[in-house]
Amino acid sequence: MPYACLHGGSLCLLISLLSCLGAQAVQTLHLVQLVHRHGARSPKVKHNQSQICGEVPCGYLNAAGKMMLVNAGEFLRNHYNSNASEPFFPEESYNSCVTYSRSTDVPRTLQSAGCLLRGMFPNASEFFPAIHTADVSTDWLLRYDVIPQAYAFSHLDEHWWRNVCNPKLDTLIDTNTLLSVSREVFSEGFCADPQNRCHCAATLFDIGVAMQSDGRIDKHPLLRENLGRLRDIKFFEDSHRFVYNASDRTHAKMGSLGQHLAQEILKNAENHMNGLTSYKLYHYSAHDTTIAPLAATLGDSTTTGITPPYGQLYAFELLYDHEVKGYIIRIRRGAPGQKPEEGYAFSWGEFQMKCMNENHTVYTAEDNKCPYHDFRRFVKSTKPHDPAGLCYLNRRYRELFHCPGNVGKPPNKQCKVFRRVCPAWSCEEGYTLNSVTLECVCSSRKCMENRDLSISTDTLGRNLFTIFIFVLLALLIPIFSVFVCIGKKLRARTRRTRAKG
């Protein structure tokens, strides 16, 4: 038995306490990065808006949504300041030199960003947050709908919606029930077309979770009763949209859909490790269609990951392990309560972090922590195999866009969309995109030679046609003259015959 323990319990207790404190100090927090969905909003619909959305304009953050994010901010402040002797965010005022915030350029995400920051930095008199945005049409970091494949899936791929999604829906909810729910929430006209029933179910789910957040769902018992089934249909759709499958050729060429954001998180961490930034907090406010692709890149295909609730948040923590003398990453995931009776209180939820060791073996991280290089290796494992990356389109989707790369002006709306967001991959080899007119312009010798050859071929064709017409006329004119002469002789003979008669 150690000498200290032999000569008094108090000294032994002191040593034990020092050991515990030492163990706690083995890993120190250096950086926090937050990515979250906006808070609860009114439904996103274009039909019967006054009846469905109520007092809050459709798609806008409601009172519940604001409370969700303020609560999340307060929770995070308490969590990261739980060590009273060394709070990670000691200041109560927002400091743009310490915190970097970015949001999509949409009111509900901008407001959600402000609400979370207000909860984290409660000094209202000094609350002037700087929230960065990017153009909606080119925000590759936070907007899924910029990706051409996403546009094709949502707007052009009727085959999937009719022949894959609709049959799956029929196994989860019958058409009569779906129509009954739609009548209850003023959506019967929107849901009238049976070919549109998957889109109908997604819209009813959106209405349901929005009404659940502010308590209005109690007035619609059929919607409340079938909300779980509608969630299952939405999860089926979202899984097809977002989940990464390494054995799928298109997925492998594109890479996982959350790569841009995951790489940004890695870059921020490395900038901090290399002393290139003063930020302690990076903060991104976005959409479910931002959170779900990120979950897929993290290897999470659960319902909570792929169909995230309002306010769902990922916290990426960069820690330094003094024992192994290296950085580690820990990921937490949580969300606020979704109903009024839950008080919209934020709490951490279940999440299984995945990493990859030097042998490229994927493993589940203990306590959701792993060496930084193992996490980076796991993220890198789903990077695109094709240089086009998220601009890659398989042959079927290319055809759906009707956007040939050797045609001058874009022939349709979707072709304009594709050329605008993927200028380097819009035109065939030898053609260059005019960024103003969005025309594919011939810009190489090969292209010009092909064009000259085409012109020469056209000219030769016209010349041959002219010769053919000339020869034809040369043959027909004498024949025509002979017939004219014969006709004259016949008419003269007829006149003489009549005269004799």
Query: Which pLDDT tens digit goes with each residue over 374-387?
Result: 999 999 999 999 99
pLDDT band at 20 (very low <50, low <70, confident <90, very high): very low
pLDDT score at 468: 60
pLDDT score at 245: 97
Mean pLDDT for 90-115 is: 98
Give percent of the chain with pLDDT exceeding 90.
81
258 neighbors 389 (Cβ within 8 angstroms)? no
Total-model pTM: 0.85
pLDDT band at 453 (very low <50, low <70, confident <90, very high): very low
The token duo for 280 is: 């302690």
pLDDT score at 19: 47
CA 362 to chain centre: 25
Mean pLDDT for 70-86 is: 96
pLDDT band at 457 (very low <50, low <70, confident <90, very high): very low
pLDDT score at 17: 43
88 neighbors 280 (Cβ within 8 angstroms)? yes
pLDDT score at 6: 35
Mean pLDDT for 382-410 is: 94
pLDDT score at 444: 84
Distance CA 455, CA 73 (A): 67
Q: What are the boundaries of each domain within the chain?
A: 27-349+383-401, 402-442, 444-494
The token duo for 138 is: 């080119």
Mean pLDDT for 222-232 is: 99
Examine the pLDDT at 461 and tell me if it is beyond 60: no
Examine the pLDDT at 2 and tell me if it is beyond 50: no
358 or 14, higher pLDDT: 358
Lowest mean pLDDT among 181-190, 291-300, 466-475: 466-475
Spell 117-126 as b/e; 16+ CB within 10 A means b.
bbbbbbeeee
pLDDT score at 14: 42
- The superfamily CATH assigns to domain 27-349+383-401 is Phosphoglycerate mutase-like (3.40.50.1240)
Lowest mean pLDDT among 185-199, 376-390, 396-410: 396-410
pLDDT score at 445: 78
Report the chain's mean pLDDT, rounded to a whole number.
Answer: 90
pLDDT band at 478 (very low <50, low <70, confident <90, very high): low
Alpha carbons within 13 angstroms on the beta-carbon side of residue 269 total: 26
pLDDT band at 24 (very low <50, low <70, confident <90, very high): low
Q: Which residues are within 8 A (CB) of 455 and not within 5 positions of it... i.e. 6 or more apart?
A: none
pLDDT band at 469 (very low <50, low <70, confident <90, very high): low
pLDDT score at 459: 46
Examine the pLDDT at 81 and tell me if it is beyond 90: yes
Examine the pLDDT at 435 and tell me if it is beyond 60: yes
pLDDT band at 472 (very low <50, low <70, confident <90, very high): low
CB atoms inside a 10 Å sphere around CB 239: 15
Collapse the DSSP code of 198 into the 3-class scheme (helix H, G, I; strand E, B; otherwise coil) and give the result: helix
pLDDT score at 299: 97
Examine the pLDDT at 8 and tell me if it is beyond 60: no
Winning range, highest mean pLDDT, from 116-120, 432-436, 469-473: 116-120
pLDDT score at 408: 86
Examine the pLDDT at 327 and tell me if it is beyond 90: yes
List pLDDT tens digits, range 241-257: 999 999 999 999 999 99
Distance CA 344, CA 360 (A): 41
Examine the pLDDT at 15 and tell me if it is beyond 70: no
**DSSP letters along 129-186, please?**
--EE---GGG-TTT-GGGSHHHHHHHHT-HHHIIIIIHHHHHTTS-HHHHHHHHHHTT
pLDDT score at 447: 78
Q: Which residues are within 8 A (CB) of 57 and not within 5 positions of it... i.e. 6 or more apart?
A: 42, 49
